[in-house]
Amino acid sequence: MATSVTKMQVLSMYKNLLRESQKFANYNFRSYALRRVRDAFKANKTLSDPKQIQKEYQFAKENLDIIRRQAAIGDMYKTEKLVIENVR
């Protein structure tokens, strides 16, 4: 924790989380992951303590790995698309 997290790193993490959340094959998982990412970043946007920012950044990195694994598993067991997903 010698180095602090820059604003650019946080924005990059946000984009990566959103991008990986889009890869869920299941609509419900995809929308849940996107909503959770947006809500978490919105709730923590006023943080100013470097230690707390570092802690939240590490939490986001762990969640990024989880999202990647879960999206890969979801690709292995695909189901039919929901009615609301069908594109005309």
* Domain boundaries defined on the chain: 7-80
Q: What pLDDT digit, counting tens, does each position of 30-56 carry?
A: 999 999 999 999 999 999 999 999 999
Determine the pLDDT at residue 88.
57
User: Can you list the positions of beta strands (E) in the chain?
Assistant: none
DSSP 32: H
Residue-level pLDDT at 79: 80
pTM: 0.85
**Could you report the per-residue pLDDT of 16-34, keeping only the tens digit for each?**
999 999 999 888 999 999 9
Which amino acid, 57?
Y
Cβ-in-10-Å burial (0-12, 13-18, 19+) of 38 comes to middle
